Chain A
Amino acid sequence: MGVEGIGARVLRKEDQRFITGKGRYTDDFNRPGQLFAVFVRSPHAHALIKSVDISEAKGCEGVAAIYTGEDVAEDGLGGLPCGFAPGGGPQNAPPRPALLKDKVRFVGDMIAVVIAESVALARDAAGKVNVEYDVLPSNTDTGKAMDADTPQLHEEAPNNVVMHWEIGEADPVEAAFAKADHVTSLDIINNRKVPNAMEPRAANAEYDAAADSFTLYTTSQNPHITRLLLAAYVLGISEGKLRVISPDVGGGFGSKIPFYPEEAVVTWACRKVERPVKWTSDRTEAFLSDTHGRDHVTKAELAMDKDGKFLAMRVDTKASLGAYLSTFGMLSSTYLYGTVLSGPYDIPAIHCKVSGVFTNTCPIDAERGAGRPEATYLIERLVETAARETGIGVVEIRKRNFIREFPYQTAVVLQYDIGDYDTTLELALEKADYAGFEARKKKSAANGKLRGVGFSTYIEACGLAPSNIAGAIGAGIGLYESAEIRFNPTGSVSVLTGAQTQGQGHETAFAQVVASKLGIEVDKVDIIHGDTGTVQWGHGTYGSRSLAVGGSAISAACDKVIEKAKKVAAHMMEADAADISFENGEFSVSGTDKTKTIGEVILTAMVPHDYPLTDMEPGLDQRSFYDPANFTYPAGTHICEVEVDPDTGVTEVVRFTAVDDFGNVVNPMIVEGQVHGGVTHGVGQALFEKALYDEDGQMVNASYMDYIIPHADNVPSFDVGYTNTPCTHNPLGVKGCGEAGAIAAPPAVINAITDAIGVRDLDMPATPQKVWDTIQANGTAKAAQ
């Protein structure tokens, strides 16, 4: 049967609505009688609130209501819960009310909400809410947050310490360092990055008094988690009384995972004002209040013997968590970070310490890669630096240390099931024409440019996550995924998945999985997601999990369908179910030429006129909850070539090769798109992006005028290739691809620049000013020329 299933370049089903302007994002929904919310945000990073005067604002045209922190407190609205506390140990987790009444802790903290007949009128009135502050000194330097004289944000967190966390064993590491022939050490700052989904966050809440229930449209990567946290922890209602709809979502990159105070306030307020309330972020609000990522200050050391064989790694990190603990804020700097420090290398001993600290900055949560980019950056910077220091060579040192026997137990908890790092490296070398690099370098030099090449051989842990592990490390939720398959009599299928999409192409890729499993054309498979009112349950999309976990749930549900359908087919063909086989959408009786198509079986099950009703229920619908046995371990080699102009410090990425092992690939077109986008995030972090807070805690680049995310002329076309060692423990053999580029690219770019200009240390972002200054300070421009 000619069904295009797993492995085919199927064009996306969802495209039609997006290319014709028919996409439906949260801000596109308008409810009858709707009001508009604008938040009064703190202009100070750290201040006591002396008074909030709403009298003038209340009299403004079109104002329906104004609520402050006092109102929230009086109503007993719950604070925002933290969904993850590593290790279950003592955590300094202060409360986070949805609106503040006593103290603000970052620029953008919310003091009041103005609800009016239009956005413009709400904004006019918000400008007339008079707040008196007693401004306090700020703490914005992650490296100094724990110092004795640094201003403290929360009473509950002395010296701004949220947690001291560690992984791996210290003693073997110390012993290995003592006997090492060579130690490479780097001080690394991983720059604070703003996710910058192009669709700003929005929320639109409505209360149905007759049913005593709420509906919230919101920009969420995980609507069921939002429902859980908002209903159970903030509103104190049963989850059944709250429907969360996350319609088309315009990018997330981690920033739409957390549960936000704006969602809590509009939902709470819509019942008070007895009208729907809508809020849409503007871009500067987004810069100030969408959770940020990264912001680590690290000392990392790698010990090796005389042959360059790695003996041990030692890592000491200070990680900012911002002003409050976001929903999964602590996860990115602990278990998603320390557990992947072995990379693709056999490193017998690893010890990593992390101090999580509060600073007067926007809260930190997941940002594309979440912890794994931070780990990969320091591993790959260490390895490349070690290769240069020892003269072993950047390819050779990797080959001497790659893991080659699987399963491999790392020194930091994880056990890799499978991989083949040599093959990805060899293919990348070939595709990148590494052999021709020196000739290209000479050509660049003739044009007055400094050319450099940098590598990144990364691994990531994806497919989040086995629920027992999630629980053991401190998550408040399981991380399985669910799928339900519903049949229509004429042979079409609806698949309800708990994975949400923000552009990943689930409506096509998941349909391909069903097409392959059941032999039903992609066009007849509708994927339904993003609505707690229709989808049974789900944990959403992040951590490159949707196909590995959500797709596996769909696969498992298909298996249940086939098992039951075989019994139906057996009845239809008067055979024993044990003799029925199923392939390419057709049931057959072994040893005979009798066959029935899946369409015929569906019709018989749905219209059971001739059916064993005493033995079996009608219908074929099935549901599965799939909990992964392990993480998946995508890996690969990314090679970046840059040209640096020594006169201006401008870096141009002139060539980028990515060879990845994602296991089996369902839709190569979609996977390549994910790599392109991920690499561009990584190039952005390496060259342009950093949330800049001044010493007073003002974010000085909170707009696209000042914060640069890559534009079309900042990146090249990419050369992408694959190798494949199928994942051993999920039914599709898939690993996940969404974060790989953002994880792999930053060290590849910085390794290339440091190669080009002949320096050892260079922090991201490598702006023209920084690169030029570095060249001047090192006098390397002339040397390299």
Chain B
Amino acid sequence: MTTVSMTVNGKEVSADVEDRTLLVDFIRENLKLTGTHVGCDTSQCGACVVHVDGKAVKACTMLANQATGSNVVTIEGLANGGDLHPVQAAFHEHHGLQCGFCTPGMIMTAVDMIERAKANGLKLDEATIRSELEGNICRCTGYHNIVRAIEAAAEQTA
């Protein structure tokens, strides 16, 4: 067993877990934050994307213990109280989700994508957005409206 401690959505959390516990399982099982999803076993689908110290990370590729001391943000921590993050609002406005299962990971990836583009002074065009979504799979939307949502959110936060 290992004691892991980190900040998740602004709260200090700590627990004793088996050494092999993945970050995603710690988030879902220990913290009961079930908005972070598991859609594959091979780090392809991106349903589990969270932010660790400001970077988008697939929470299934990381041991919980590796996040000790880190600042983790999950989908539940993205909105500012009752105010949706602009990317959340854009997914709603542009119908960028259907079943909702890939959505938390998509949104966390999109937030990271937009912030990186902004930091580097790059404009997110459609081809770049599609390329950046390589690590997130959606089986419902055909991506069309996800791309529209990210374009709109990027424009809004530019």
Give every chain A residue within 8 A of B133 (Cβ-Cβ).
Answer: 711-713
Q: How far is the CA of A253 from the CA of B139 in the complex (A)?
A: 9
Q: Report whether A712 and B147 are in contact in the complex, using a CB–CB cutoff of 8 Å.
A: yes
Q: Within the complex, which residue of A20, A282, A677 is in contact with B98, where a contact is CB–CB below 8 Å? A: A677
Bound together, the chains give a CA A76 to CA B101 distance in angstroms of: 37
Q: If A20-B76, A198-B138, A200-B39 touch, does A705 touch B44 (CB 8 Å cutoff)?
A: yes
A692 within 8 A of partner (CB): no
Nearest-neighbour CB distance to chain B for A295, whole angstroms, equals 20
Which of B64-72, B85-93, B116-124 touches A? B85-93
Q: Which residues of B contact A24 (CB under 8 A)?
A: 34
Q: Is the CB of A670 within 8 A of B42?
A: no
A499 smallest CB distance to B (angstroms): 15
User: Does A477 sit within 8 A of B, measured CB to CB?
Assistant: no
Q: Which residue of B lies closest to A11 (CB)?
A: B92
A251 touching B37 in the complex, CB below 8 Å, given contacts A15-B91, A673-B145? no
Q: How far is the CB of A7 from chain B (nearest CB, A)?
A: 16
| Contact yes or no, B139 A251, CB < 8 A | yes
A670 to B96, CA, bound (A): 10
Q: Does A16 make an interface contact (CB < 8 A)?
A: yes
Tell me if B147 and A717 are in contact (CB < 8 A): yes
Taking a contact as CB atoms closer than 8 A, the residue among B99, B103, B126, B139 that contacts A19 in the complex is B103
* Complex-state Cα separation, A169 to B102, whole angstroms: 48
Most B CB contacts (10 A, CB to CB) among A15, A30, A282, A709 go to: A15
Is B15 an interface residue when CB atoms closer than 8 A count as contact? no
In the bound complex, CA of A669 to CA of B95 (Å): 7
Asked whether B63 is an interface residue with its Cβ less than 8 Å from the other chain, the reply is no
Q: Which one of B74, B91, B95, B130 has the highest number of Cβ atoms from chain A below 10 Å of its Cβ? A: B95
User: Residue-by-residue, is A357-392 near B (CB-CB < 8 Å gives 1, otherwise 0)?
Assistant: 000000000000000000000000000000000000
Per-residue B-contact encoding for A625-654, CB less than 8 Å = 1, 0 else: 000000000000000000000000000000
Closest B residue to A501 by CB, please name it.
B99
* In the assembled complex, A615 has its CB within 8 A of some CB on chain B: no
Establish whether residues A715 and B143, one from each chain, have CB atoms under 8 Å apart when the complex forms. yes
**Does B88 contact A709, Cβ atoms closer than 8 Å?**
no
Contacts of B39 in A (CB 8 A): 198-200, 250, 283
For the complex, what is the distance from the CA of A297 to the CA of B45, rounded to whole Å?
32
* Segment of A176-184, A440-448, A502-510, A531-539 engaged in the interface with chain B: A502-510
From known contacts A283-B41, A677-B141, infer whether A21 and B91 are also in contact, taking CB-CB under 8 Å: no
Q: When A248-B100, A251-B101, A715-B143 are in contact, do A15 and B130 touch as well, CB less than 8 Å?
A: no
Cross-chain contact A199 with B98 (CB below 8 angstroms): no
Query: Do residues A251 and B99 form an inter-chain contact, with CB atoms below 8 A?
Result: yes
Whether A14 is near chain B, meaning CB under 8 Å from some CB there, is yes
Check: A120 CB closer than 8 A to any chain B CB.
Answer: yes
Is A676's beta carbon under 8 Å from chain B?
Answer: yes
State whether the Cβ of A703 lies closer than 8 Å to any Cβ in chain B: yes
What does the 1/0 interface line of B40-84 toward A look like (CB < 8 Å)?
111011010000000000000000000000000011101100001
Residue from the list B42, B74, B76, B137 in contact with A703, Cβ < 8 A? B42
A253: nearest residue on chain B (CB-CB)?
B139
CA distance A713 to B147 in the complex (A): 10
Contact A28–B34 (Cβ < 8 Å): yes
Q: Is A673 a contact of B141 with CB atoms below 8 Å? A: yes
Question: Among the interface residues A20, A253, A284, A672, which one has the most CB atoms of the partner chain B within 10 A?
Answer: A20
Top-3 shortest CB links A-B = A21-B35, A503-B99, A250-B101
Extra contacts besides A284-B41, A673-B144 (18): CB < 8 Å = A12-B92, A20-B88, A23-B35, A25-B101, A120-B20, A197-B101, A199-B99, A250-B37, A251-B140, A253-B139, A283-B40, A673-B141, A673-B145, A676-B145, A703-B42, A710-B143, A712-B143, A717-B147
